Amino acid sequence: MEGNEVESRDDTERPEMTLFALFPPTAPLAPLLDSLRTLKIPEEAISISSTLPLFEEPALSQWKPIQLYPVTLIAGAIGILFGFLLAGGTFVLYPLRTGGKAIFTRPVVGIISYETMMLFAIVSTFIAALIRVVWSHRSRARYDPRIDEGLIGVTVQVDRGDPRSGSVQRLFEESGAVEVVTR
């Protein structure tokens, strides 16, 4: 709760205003989101927090798809190149003639490149996802420990003085919010 107090002091200085409401888990989200769209609140200004992913909710299925595969693929390709240079480069720079084996052993380069491809792909995917988790819409989402008890948190961000803030607050209350906080 201390964190919230600190947050509220900072919030008064912000140009944006945050409206946060807690809903019972079975409250229908679709009509609420439709009404917010009617008010022309952009998708980026709405954040829904829950203790588990609500991917099954039809109301959220219209959200823009996210892409992480390009990061994985590009990092994997760099990994192949790294493995090729590491193993192949070793054979070129340190040519040890051992046991009649070829100086440049292609299967070995393949094995090393495969592993470095996987390493680069996994680490890059992980880092990219973490960056997105930490930064994406972080400022918009409100947190309340009761969300982990099953309540659904809805945060809407509008400019201070935006006339729609009153409508959003009313909408929250009419949709069955158990608590509405404005900061």
Decide if 104 contacts 88 (C-beta within 8 A): yes
CA-to-CA distance for 74 and 111, rounded, in angstroms? 19
CA-to-CA distance for 109 and 80, rounded, in angstroms? 9
Give the residue with the Cβ less far from another protein, 111 or 160: 111
User: Segment near another protein (CB under 8 A), from 30-38, 127-135, 160-168, 171-179?
Assistant: 127-135
Residue 91: count other Cβ atoms within 10 Å of its Cβ. 17
User: Segment near another protein (CB under 8 A), from 11-19, 32-40, 121-129, 173-181?
Assistant: 121-129
In sequence order, what are the residues at sequence separation of 6 or more whose Cβ sits closer than 8 angstroms to the Cβ of residue 100? none
Given the rule CB under 8 A, which residues bind another protein?
A: 25-26, 47-56, 60, 63, 66, 68-69, 72, 86-87, 90-91, 93-94, 96, 98, 101, 105, 108-109, 111-112, 114-116, 118-119, 121-123, 125-126, 128-130, 132-134, 136-138, 140-143, 145, 147-150, 153, 155
